[in-house]
Chains A and B, each alone.
Chain A
Amino acid sequence: MASKVTRREFIRDGVAAFTISFAAPAFLVDIARAQGAVSRNLVVIYLAGGNDALSTVIPYNDPFYYSRRPNIAIPAGQVLQVGTDGAGKAVGLHPKLTGLQTIFNQGHLAIIQRAGYQNSSRSHFQGTDIWGTADPGNPSANGWLGRYLDTLPSPIDPLAGWNTSGATYRALTGVNLSVPSITDPRSYSFASPNSGAEAIAERNSAIRLASLAGNRSNLAFVNTSAIEAFATLDRVGAVVGYQPSVTYPNNGFGQALKTVAGSIAKGIGTRVYWVQTGGFDTHSGQGNAGAGTYGNLMTTVGDGLLAFHNDLQNQGLLNSTLMIEFSEFGRRITENGSQGTDHGAGGLMFAIGGAVKGGIYGTAADLNPKADNPTLENSGNDVTYETDFRSVYAKVLDGWLGADSTAILGGNFRTGAPTFI
């Protein structure tokens, strides 16, 4: 492989670091363009830990919401109004979600109530894997996003997916690719103990060495991650200089969304982004009157998403971007003795974007723990699902990404899908 150093050589911490360009990346950039640098993006947002859906979208006229949550319920007067759901039940947003209310009022937010699946797992890890694989029967398979990316024409651009978190998620695992985990584009550069021609010689050797795994598949897996790092340095480096049109919140979630916006704005070719923010396993101390721990979580989510929404909108990119939010389960209806909530069942999804048909989809649960209440399960302890989360995935795959959801999801889940796009 011929190679040349093109730009940006500098010294940092006594180590020469530079970004490079060589024959393969130009080729890969072409592939990226062919695969849709100008087409649609999907940003998947994961609220890690099991988001308490009943504190996000609040059934503020349900007396059982208050009787079962005497300490942590959001007072009706604080709830942000978004109207009533299809069954005429009034619901409102958490008071710290002013950002989401702004998006809702522009018609760009779809709230999908009671998303989940039958026999919902109360385990974080099994639950996350089920949402990741879209297969409750085989949660150790490849992920739904990985399976989608596998359908792209070969060779698949190593940057077709971009995981902004440091962890690896089942949703992103596929056969033909390993989605890169790039938490901070600024540290995504190549370093050498030497500089100049000596560093170039070393880098060339590193690339050739990484191509010699032959049929040693585990070695090849590691070497591929090195080769793909070399091949994507320039494009990721381009994101470092991104100047957003708004100020993003200075927290991990906000900064990750800023990176995604930069990547979309620079047109580097990524189709699927993964962004997560944690802290939702609120077994204790959720806070009251809309303040405290859960309120802080909502501020992070609402302010980050509003900044991202507005930044994309300002640049004419909102119509080509779809955000989908999920969490691995909802939480128990009745608060525990720690002013928190334990693991429950049915949850909540959002879809946000310029092409989204905003509104409230599905119906809120009736929180009365009577025996014949079909909206609850587990002896009235948990909210039962109404919309199969796989139907939402099907809508995203068919209606947004132009893929065949039946092939990717291993079945037809189109029936009953909310019509948010």
Chain B
Amino acid sequence: MQSGNTLLDHLFRRAGFGASTADLQAVNGLSYASAVDYFVDFDKQPDDVDSKIGATDSVGITSRGPFSPSTAIDDARQLWLFRMVHTRRPLQEKMALFWHNHFGVGYSKVAGVVGAVEGTKMMANRPGETPGPPGHYELLRQKGLGRFRDLLIAVAQDPAMLVFLDGRTNTKAQPQENFGREVMELFTWGLGHYVEADVYAAARVFTGWNLRNVPGANAQDPAAYREFVYNANQHDTTAKTFTFPISGGSNTIPARSAAAGVQDGIDLLTSLANHPETARRLARKLWSFFVSDLDAPDSSFVEGAADVYLRNDTDMRAVLRYLLTSRWFTGPSNVNARYSWPVEYVVRAIKEIGWTGFSVDSARVPLTNMGQTLFEPPNVAGWQLGRAWFGTGAMLARMNFAATLASNQKFNLARSFSTGERSQPDRVLNGMLQRLTPAPYETNETTELLNYLNASGPWTGSDAQMNAKAAGLARLIAGSGEYQFV
């Protein structure tokens, strides 16, 4: 929905997933700074979104038997989409999505190792719903706006990650390099700051960071789980030397007793999280996600955000407040300056076109065709972003999802127009452009949309005409290029 305030609409598209009428009511009357606080201080709103599942005024979910988001991955996908539509804490879900892309853990490999039920638990177990630790996504949701250092350590000990990058099998006899490499290349400071010898040393640091298995009665038993365990007798206790300083100034993590060896990993993760190059790399990724992926990160922004990150003990909440109130975020040139991700596109379309009688399950397959299956990034580096979202097949999938949704909402859309609005096609168009939030059209494009309303017969505003034209117009707008930007 348009709020009438361009900057507020921008904030909702970037820090959230667009605005429904309820979202706009929640910030009604707030200054921009207070609206930013509403997003950033997300925990002042209750985490009650799951209680809306099944309500008549909520988007639907489709369950095959009991709805089981902790143990059935397609239900977990539905739950996340549901939360994106109805959450009162939009930035919490948005940051969870950012981190999901950042850490790149995919369900298929996890489930291939531990089975579908436990694999889903590792990705999405709702805290307390089944025995065992919270799932990967729940962890990102809990810690995504806290200190990055805490998040990084939690992810390094997250069962899903320990399966995905094979840490579960990392032992002192033959260290396993997978996590040790990616934690530097992808999760923290990136290529160019370390050499192969550092990868070997990092692999040794994490020896013994394994999993403890609590088996169930069988593979379908939701009571079964695995949790992080530090296996002291599998830890390489000798000193590890890097080509860069570990916190404290020395390049060497000293030899430690097996009992104390878990500290090796904490030391390495802490020094990586606290490093200015990690701060800069996160700042660049946040720029591309929140500010613009059309323009390269502004170096002043990168230094500014990195400085906030380092001065605030890696606190992401401080960084996000800085970002959302910065001149780069609020500058008009960065409005509609990012290619939307498929889940952003789908959720915003649902929020704006409508959801009564629609199930988020109907978005699952289209999302895959658009190139983004939740819980299944293509690899540990996450999705390819920006223009890479817009192959012809993916664009067709977006247009066709708009058709599916508009078809489903045909009568709701038609009924939303007052008698006065339906009397004239230009008033119908204006009403639809209040509802949907494409980047602004130029005059010849608006004319084309009006031509569509006037095509195939004189305008009468009849129910039959409104049923057809309102849905067709919503499909045209949501399927247009302008609507693909956020």
Contact = CB atoms under 8 A, between A and B. Distances in A.
A50 to B, nearest CB: 11
B185 A123 contact: yes
Interface stretch (B44-52, B250-258, B377-385): B377-385
B173 A337 contact: yes
A331 B388 CA distance: 29
B381 A336 contact: no
Contacts of A372: none
A263 B325 CA distance: 52
A168 B384 contact: yes
Contact of A336 (B176, B444, B479): B176
Given A122-B181, A194-B471, A205 B449 contact: yes
A167 B371 contact: yes
A255 interface: no
Contacts of B378: 166-167
A221 B165 CA distance: 36
Most buried by A among B396, B400, B442, B452: B396
B456 A181 contact: no
B439 interface: yes
Q: Pick from B170, B392, B448, B455 the residue with the most CB of A within 10 Å.
A: B392
Contacts of A183: 369, 393
A210 B175 contact: no
B407 A182 contact: no
A229 B181 CA distance: 40
Contacts of A17: 400
A338 B368 contact: no
Given A205-B452, A284-B176, 15 more contacts: A14-B408, A122-B196, A178-B390, A180-B391, A191-B403, A205-B455, A209-B445, A218-B339, A219-B439, A222-B339, A226-B399, A283-B166, A336-B169, A336-B175, A337-B174
Contacts of A219: 439, 481-482, 485
A126 B472 contact: no
B193 interface: no
Interface in A1-59: 13-15, 17, 48-49
Contacts of A194: 407, 468, 471-472
B32 to A, nearest CB: 26
Nearest to A342: B177
Contacts of A225: 390-392, 394-395
B176 A168 contact: no
B176 A13 contact: no
Interface in B445-484: 445, 448-449, 451-452, 455-456, 468, 471-472, 474-476, 479-482, 484
Which residue, A178, A225, A284, has most C-beta atoms of chain B within 10 A? A225
Interface stretch (A147-155, A196-204, A391-399): A196-204
B397 interface: yes
B379 A221 contact: no
Interface in B166-212: 166, 169-171, 173-178, 181, 185-186, 191, 196, 199
Contacts of A378: 196
Which of B391, B444, B455 has its CB near the most chain A CB atoms (within 10 A)?
A: B391
A13 B404 contact: yes
Contacts of A187: 369, 393, 397, 400
A17 B379 CA distance: 33
A342 B403 CA distance: 46
Contacts of B475: 192-193, 202
Contact of A191 (B178, B387, B399, B482): B399
Interface string B1-16: 0000000000000000
A219 B440 CA distance: 11
A166 B407 contact: no
A246 interface: no
Given A205-B476, A209-B449, A378-B196, A190 B399 contact: yes
The interface size bin for chain A is 35 or more
Report, nearest first, the 4 A-B pairs whose CB atoms are least far apart.
A337-B174, A338-B169, A181-B391, A193-B407
Nearest to A182: B393
Interface in B353-371: 368-369, 371
Contacts of B393: 166, 180-183, 187-188, 229
Interface residues of B, number: 68
Nearest to B447: A212
A336 B442 CA distance: 60
A179 interface: yes
A167 B382 CA distance: 11
B199 A338 contact: no
A357 interface: no
B456 to A, nearest CB: 5
A283 B481 contact: no
A137 interface: no
Nearest to A15: B407
A122 B181 CA distance: 9
Nearest to B397: A187
A158 B196 contact: no
A343 interface: yes
B399 A212 contact: no
Contacts of B391: 163, 168, 178-182, 225
A197 B378 CA distance: 40
A222 B175 CA distance: 46
B196 A222 contact: no
B387 A193 contact: no
B403 A223 contact: no
B474 to A, nearest CB: 8
A213 interface: yes
Contact of B445 (A125, A179, A212): A212
A303 interface: no
B449 A181 contact: no
B404 A191 contact: yes
A335 interface: yes
Contact of A338 (B170, B294, B403): B170
Contacts of A197: 456
A209 B171 CA distance: 59
A214 interface: yes
